[in-house]
């Protein structure tokens, strides 16, 4: 057998996507299932992003069990399923701008800043142009961040494998959890609480002893809490309850939606692109830098991108140009490029460190865990001369991202601009249906009524967490990483001969631990504005 | 007496919970402690990881007491009423989902439900009744009225989910048929 080099891995990844099992052929050209699934995922993502009340997370939660039922638990399933989820992730980011621009209703939280200039543009008869600017900026930002991901993730992973041993990896996990707890949401204390509850939940019914710990002697807890039930309960069902409550409060004062008619030239000219490009690149760089840090969401990127663009615009604009917030195309570009460039960069910590930085990454890890054969983390990027199948999957994943961007550039914009009608679906009908669909999907995956009870219970917990202003994201990331943290700590403790100070003996591990403490300490001194 | 802010109350609750967790629940409900001696060497016990979680919660509680927050977010009576009503709809729906199939099988005097759970129409009884109840109940509560429209939507949704999951896949079971 010949040795496998770096270029061979890249080529094998591309081949795995385009020359995998065939779905159908057009004029003799074979279309693989993975290509088809990326396209389906993108279309579904744009639809759910454009539907207020839904979003990429709900779509991923519902689709995952269906996809696993279709493709089964084998390595051939990895790229179609992960490609579909990548498509949903990218599509929902683009789709979120549709209701924000047309109806002043952000489809996703990170599209809020898009309403500030998008809706005034739509009201002044430039809705189609605003949608085109939003699409162009969003896909540009996303493409930029994917390039950064593809270039950086393998190098970061190689560095991690070369320099970090078990104690350092344990310390890095603790640092990541502290960082996520400190930066997500409006309060470090609440982030830490959310993370602590997630860790506690994942430790119930697990462990190495014969007796399942913290199970209170009950059969229900002795098998542990299914990860999908906890994640879907806290993230999806909790959000559905919160949204339903808003509707309950609004029942008596829902107004009729008025749509302004488009007037004048709606095309996106080269002159328009030249005007918005500096805003796009600046925001894409901001979004990518923010996205590379685990836990910092696209909402913060959108806010900083918008604020930076606004300062730059104030110096550049002519007196007759509209201000930011009054229908400036540059405002849409600055926001959309920033929030979209987070999604690719968010996968840097997942692929290089195995640490999920956002909810989409959590679902990618869930999918990889469920199917098997691919464990996101530094070990993936072992460029061994004997074939490393995980590395082929990683390059296949990069290929699906480039493919999703290509589809987004070509058909995404047209499709996105045709979805304005989705905002008319009454959310009070949609959300309970989505709840039942989510519970059914969960059951299909877990085949246990206890999973439905757990998910519903975690949904109620997620609802109360939101009422207290506690972000559910640290809970989910704590839950996902808790098992690995314990396993790594056990191995590190044994490897150091039972040294109780194993986390402080190596300089790198000590720096990580001290940084974790410092992050929490300094975030306590400076309370932040609430952000998702 | 000065009224407690929600943050302070939450902080005190966290501290109390963390202390109960660390000093009662974990020691009484875990086989091994923080560190154990096994075959002549020290190993991490099952109690260490949950104690770390308790430490996170304890530190969070202390920080909540110290942190200055402008938004004192907390649930009010309306929130509790809402989640209570939604929980009633959800729990009733799940209970019907689990038990209505076996109950109908008993009343029909036929075979045990376990033997019927993969046959039409028995396999749809629980999911249909529970699902319709859940959706209809939640829509009616949010709209504050009962409507035929809500009922038709619930029926259409349940039918759609059956078509989505049950018809195309032989090995997929809708709730509760996989574990009754």
Note the pLDDT of residue A161: 79
**B-chain residue closest to A463, CA distance:** B83
**A248, A463 contact by CB (below 8 A):** no
- Tell whether B178 is within 8 A of chain A (Cβ): yes
Please tell me whether residue B151 adopts helix, strand or coil conformation.
helix
CB proximity A481 to B under 8 Å:
no
What are the angstrom distances between the C-alpha of A188 and each of A78, A265, A465, B45? 36, 48, 14, 29
Question: Quick check: B100 and B125 in contact, CB under 8 A?
Answer: yes
Query: What ipTM is given for this predicted complex?
Result: 0.94
A186, pLDDT greater than 90: no
B26: closest chain A residue by CA: A214
User: Would you say residue A502 has pLDDT above 90?
Assistant: no
Q: What is the pLDDT of residue A6?
A: 80
Reported as a single tens digit per residue, the pLDDT across A229-240 is 998 899 889 989
pLDDT for position A255: 46
d(CA A148, CA A287): 11
CB < 8 Å to B57, chain A: 192-193, 196-197, 200
Q: In the structure, what pLDDT confidence band is assigned to residue A495 with cuts at 50, 70 and 90?
A: confident
User: What would the mean pLDDT of A143-158 be, rounded to a whole number?
Assistant: 88
Work out whether the CA dihedral A147, A148, A151, A153 comes out positive or negative. Answer: negative
Which has the higher per-residue pLDDT, A261 or A228?
Answer: A228
C-alpha distance from B122 to closest chain A C-alpha (Å):
17
Chain A residue nearest residue B28, CA to CA = A214
> Alpha-carbon dihedral of residues A199, A200, A204, A206, nearest 10 degrees?
40
Query: d(Cα B68, Cα A482) in Å, to the nearest integer?
Result: 29
Q: Does B64 touch chain A (CB under 8 A)?
A: yes
CB–CB of B139/B85 below 8 Å? no
Q: Do A469 and B71 touch (CB under 8 A)?
A: yes
Nearest one of A298, A291, A286, A288 to A357, comparing CA atoms: A291
Q: Is the pLDDT of residue A8 over 60?
A: yes
**Among candidates B54, B79, B98 on the partner chain, residue whose Cβ is nearest the Cβ of A449:** B98
Under-50 pLDDT residues of chain B: none
Q: Is B57 in contact with A197 (Cβ distance < 8 A)?
A: yes
Q: Which of B44, B93, B140, B168 to mutate to test the interface with A (most CBs of A within 10 A)?
A: B44
Residue A435 pLDDT: 93
Q: Per residue in B101-133, is it b (16+ CB within 10 Å) or e — as a string? A: bbebbeeeeeeebeebbeeeebbbbbbbbbbbb
Residue of A434 and A105 predicted with greater confidence: A434
Q: What is the pLDDT of residue A185?
A: 65
Q: Is the pLDDT of residue A169 over 90?
A: no
Token duo for residue B31: 């086989």
> What is the pLDDT of chain A when averaged over all its residues?
85
- Render pLDDT for A83-100 as a digit per residue (tens, 0 to 9): 999 999 999 888 888 878
* Neighboring chain B residues of A190 at a CB cutoff of 8 Å: 60, 64
Contact residues, A window 158-177, toward B, CB-based 8 Å cutoff: none
Q: pLDDT, tens digit, for every residue of A87-137? A: 999 998 888 888 788 877 666 666 778 888 888 888 888 888 899 999 999
Nearest Cα residue to A16 out of A408, A387, A405: A387
- The answer to whether B129 contacts chain A (CB < 8 Å) is no
Rg of chain A (C-alpha set): 23
Find which of B86, B128, B154 to mutate to test the A interface (most A CBs within 10 Å of its CB). Answer: B86
Q: What percent of chain A has pLDDT over 90?
A: 31
Residue B56: which of A192, A247, A463 has the nearest Cβ?
A192
* pTM score: 0.83
Contacts of A498 in chain B (CB under 8 A): 35, 41-43
Q: Using CA atoms, how far apart are residues B118 and B124, in angstroms rounded to an integer? A: 9
**Residue A359 scores a pLDDT above 90:** no
Name the band, by pLDDT with cuts 50, 70 and 90, for residue A290: confident
- What's the average model confidence in pLDDT over A389-393? 90
Q: What is the CA radius of gyration of chain B?
A: 25
| B75/A467 Cβ within 8 A | yes
Q: Which residue of A has its CA nearest to B65?
A: A189
Q: How far is B129 from chain A (nearest CA, A)?
A: 12
Token pair recorded at residue A342: 């987070």
d(CA A110, CA A97): 9
**Distance, CA of B38 to CA of A493 (rounded, Å):** 13
Q: Over 90: is that where the pLDDT of A476 sits? A: no
Alpha-carbon gap: A229 to the closest alpha carbon of chain B (Å): 14
**Candidates B44, B142, B171; nearest CB to A490:** B44
């Amino acid at each position: 057998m010949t040795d496998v080099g770096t270029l061979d891995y890249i080529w094998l990844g591309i081949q795995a996507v385009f020359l995998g099992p065939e779905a159908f052929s057009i004029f003799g050209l074979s279309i693989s299932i993975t290509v088809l699934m990326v396209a389906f995922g993108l279309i579904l993502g744009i639809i759910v992003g454009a539907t207020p009340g839904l979003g990429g997370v709900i779509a991923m939660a519902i689709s995952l069990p269906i996809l696993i039922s279709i493709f089964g638990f084998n390595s051939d399933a990895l790229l179609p399923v992960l490609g579909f989820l990548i498509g949903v992730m990218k599509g929902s980011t683009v789709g979120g701008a549709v209701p924000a621009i047309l109806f002043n209703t952000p489809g996703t939280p990170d599209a809020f800043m898009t309403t500030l200039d998008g809706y005034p543009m739509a009201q002044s008869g430039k809705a189609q142009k605003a949608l085109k600017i939003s699409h162009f900026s969003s896909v540009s930002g996303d493409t930029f961040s994917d390039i950064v991901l593809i270039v950086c993730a393998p190098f970061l992973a190689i560095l991690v494998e070369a320099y970090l041993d078990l104690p350092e990896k344990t310390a890095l996990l603790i640092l990541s959890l502290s960082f996520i707890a400190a930066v997500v949401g409006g309060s470090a204390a609440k982030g830490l609480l959310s993370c602590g509850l997630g860790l506690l939940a994942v430790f119930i019914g697990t462990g190495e002893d014969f007796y399942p710990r913290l199970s209170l002697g009950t059969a229900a807890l002795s098998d542990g809490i299914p990860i999908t039930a906890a994640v879907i309960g806290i993230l999806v069902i909790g959000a559905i309850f919160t949204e339903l409550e808003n509707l309950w409060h609004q029942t008596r004062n829902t107004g009729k939606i008025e749509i302004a008619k488009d007037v004048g030239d709606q095309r996106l000219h080269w002159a328009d692109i030249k005007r918005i490009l500096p805003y796009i690149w600046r925001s894409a760089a901001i979004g990518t830098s923010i996205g590379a840090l685990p836990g910092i969401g696209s909402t913060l990127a959108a806010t900083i991108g918008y604020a930076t663009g606004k300062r730059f615009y104030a110096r550049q604009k002519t007196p007759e140009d509209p201000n930011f917030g009054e229908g400036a195309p540059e405002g849409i570009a600055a926001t959309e490029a920033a929030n979209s460039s987070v999604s690719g960069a968010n996968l840097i910590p997942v692929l290089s460190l195995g640490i999920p930085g956002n909810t989409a990454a959590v679902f990618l890890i869930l999918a990889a865990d469920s199917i098997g054969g691919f464990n996101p983390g530094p070990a993936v990027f072992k460029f061994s001369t004997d074939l490393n199948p995980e590395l082929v999957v990683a390059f296949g994943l990069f290929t699906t991202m480039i493919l999703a961007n290509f589809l987004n550039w070509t058909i995404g914009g047209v499709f996105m601009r045709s979805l304005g009608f989705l905002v008319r679906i009454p959310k009070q009908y949609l959300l309970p249906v989505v709840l039942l669909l989510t519970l059914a999907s969960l059951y299909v995956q877990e085949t246990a009524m206890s999973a439905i009870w757990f998910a519903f219970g975690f949904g109620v917990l997620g609802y109360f967490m939101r009422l207290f202003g506690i972000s559910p994201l640290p809970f989910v990331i704590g839950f996902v990483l808790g098992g690995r943290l314990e396993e790594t700590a056990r191995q590190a403790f044994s490897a150091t001969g039972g040294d109780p100070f194993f986390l402080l003996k190596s300089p790198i591990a000590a720096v990580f631990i001290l940084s974790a403490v410092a992050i929490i300490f300094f975030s306590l001194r400076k309370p932040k504005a609430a952000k998702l | 007496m000065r009224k407690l802010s929600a943050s302070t109350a939450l902080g005190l609750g966290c501290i109390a919970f963390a202390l109960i967790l660390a000093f009662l629940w974990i020691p009484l409900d875990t086989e091994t402690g923080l560190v154990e001696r096994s075959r002549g060497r020290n190993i991490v016990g099952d109690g260490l990881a949950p104690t770390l979680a308790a430490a996170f919660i304890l530190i969070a509680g202390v920080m909540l007491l110290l942190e200055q927050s402008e938004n004192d977010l907390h649930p009010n009576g309306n929130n509790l009423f809402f989640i209570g009503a939604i929980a009633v709809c959800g729990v009733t729906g799940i209970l019907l989902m689990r038990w209505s199939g076996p109950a109908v099988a008993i009343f029909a005097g036929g075979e045990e439900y376990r033997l019927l759970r993969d046959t039409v129409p028995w396999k749809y009884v629980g999911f249909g009744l529970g699902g319709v109840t859940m959706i209809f109940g939640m829509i009616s509560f949010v709209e504050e009225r009962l409507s035929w429209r809500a009922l038709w939507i619930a029926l259409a949704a349940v039918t759609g989910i059956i078509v989505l999951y049950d018809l195309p896949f032989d090995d997929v079971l809708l709730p509760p048929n996989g574990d009754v």
